[in-house]
Amino acid sequence: MFRLLKKRIISYVQNSITPTIAERTSAQVLNALRRDRLMQSSLNSQEPGITERSEGRNPLVISLTTHGRRLYEVCIAIESIMQGSVKPNTIVLWIGENEPTELPVSLQRQMNRGLTVCRTRDIRSYTKLVPALREYPQADIVTIDDDILYPQDFLENLLAIHRLHPEAIVANMVMRLTRAADGVPEGIRQWPYTLERRSETDADLYFEGFGGVLYPAGSLPQETLNESVFMNISPTNDDAWFNAMARLAGRPIVPCDMHPYDYIAAVNPNAQSTALYITNNTAENLNDKQIRRVWEHYHLQGK
């Protein structure tokens, strides 16, 4: 039913307005429809959102965090995972100790279908992964953002690449970095995205958490949990930290080329006013500055 409606909307819009505007308008309409459908499912569905079935040798955990008014929107991102073609064994939502005691009804109902909600000390965007590394050390962990509507085959595609490269960190959003003369990556705003899986030892790849990342069990070193360091040298850029930790561990980074990036347009607009990229992508270019601090701290210029 939804696919038929999608075709009709696209056809109508394309026949009514110019191609560029038509594409943008169709995406907006379809994303709004999908948001509404996922919200309704979060409130009304009785279907389990997780499974006991094993998809690999390790348990599979989806981990995310949220805060503030996003607490009332995060159910949509979670539901997009619960409605996926492959379900995880655990979905854990980490929220700060200062968040409201009474959770939104949508989350309460998702908890009845398998969602785990854990309160933890707020360490900003690091809360998405660091507590999960402590709590689920034997699991393969997939991190997601709280403001993205993930495709139905999102998890299925990540797992397909993981099976081909079981020791690698697999990500949907992978860039090919460039370096300054001293070997430190710079100019992140100009780095191109890549889907090319040329080599598992390619040192010029850099993943972003935005599109979802699969970390195999034990793929990051114990230093990853060193809060006193990461909150000092890279407090708002967890991607820089996790990429550096992958290099410390000698872990390859592999792009997931199984799916186009169509879910990038499916951002939940109601949650974007507090997005971290607004903080990092200022005139000060905090992303590059924090990458440099992390690379220099761990002497990663040649890695």
Q: What local confidence, expressed as pLDDT, does residue 262 receive?
A: 53
104 burial type by CB count under 10 A (0-12 exposed, 13-18 middle, 19+ buried): middle
CA separation for the pair 221, 130 (Å, rounded): 12
Query: Based on the domain organization, do 102 and 166 belong to the same domain?
Result: yes
Q: What local confidence, expressed as pLDDT, does residue 235 receive?
A: 97
CA separation for the pair 54, 106 (Å, rounded): 27
On whether residue 80 sits in a domain, the answer given is yes
Query: Based on the domain organization, do 108 and 14 belong to the same domain?
Result: no
CA separation for the pair 77, 231 (Å, rounded): 27
On whether residue 54 sits in a domain, the answer given is no
Regions of the chain short of the pLDDT cut 70: 1-27, 198-201, 259-284
Segment 229-235 long-range contacts (CB within 8 Å, at least 24 positions apart):
229/297, 230/126, 230/294, 231/123, 231/124, 231/126, 233/290, 233/293, 233/294, 233/297, 234/290, 234/291, 234/293, 234/294, 235/124, 235/290
On whether residue 39 sits in a domain, the answer given is yes
Q: Which residues contact 180 (CB under 8 A, 6 or more apart)?
A: 186
Ranges assigned E (strand) in the chain: 60-66, 90-96, 115-120, 140-143, 169-176, 205-215, 253-255
Q: CA angle 248-254-255, nearest 5°? A: 135
Per residue in 123-179, pLDDT tens?
A: 999 999 999 999 999 999 999 999 888 989 999 999 999 999 999 999 999 999 999
CA separation for the pair 164, 147 (Å, rounded): 29
Bridge partners (DSSP) of residue 115 are 91
Query: Based on the domain organization, do 27 and 64 belong to the same domain?
Result: no
On whether residue 7 sits in a domain, the answer given is yes
3-class DSSP state of 208: strand
Bridge partners (DSSP) of residue 193 are 175
Q: What local confidence, expressed as pLDDT, does residue 210 receive?
A: 86
Query: Based on the domain organization, do 33 and 90 belong to the same domain?
Result: no
On whether residue 108 sits in a domain, the answer given is yes
Tokens of residue 81, six digits: 């995972």
Query: Based on the domain organization, do 13 and 106 belong to the same domain?
Result: no
Q: What local confidence, expressed as pLDDT, does residue 62 receive?
A: 98
Query: Based on the domain organization, do 23 and 144 belong to the same domain?
Result: no
Q: What local confidence, expressed as pLDDT, does residue 19 receive?
A: 55
On whether residue 166 sits in a domain, the answer given is yes
Tokens of residue 245, six digits: 């930790």
On whether residue 253 sits in a domain, the answer given is yes
Query: Based on the domain organization, do 286 and 172 belong to the same domain?
Result: yes
CB 11 within 8 A of CB 17: no
Query: Based on the domain organization, do 104 and 252 belong to the same domain?
Result: yes
The CATH number assigned to the domain holding 206 equals: 3.90.550
On whether residue 50 sits in a domain, the answer given is no
Q: What local confidence, expressed as pLDDT, does residue 278 receive?
A: 45
Query: Based on the domain organization, do 130 and 27 belong to the same domain?
Result: no
Query: Based on the domain organization, do 105 and 234 belong to the same domain?
Result: yes
3-class DSSP state of 215: strand
CB 158 within 8 A of CB 256: yes
- Domain enclosing residue 20, as ranges: 2-44
Query: Based on the domain organization, do 69 and 161 belong to the same domain?
Result: yes
Query: Based on the domain organization, do 6 and 117 belong to the same domain?
Result: no
Number of domains in the chain: 2
CA separation for the pair 4, 168 (Å, rounded): 38
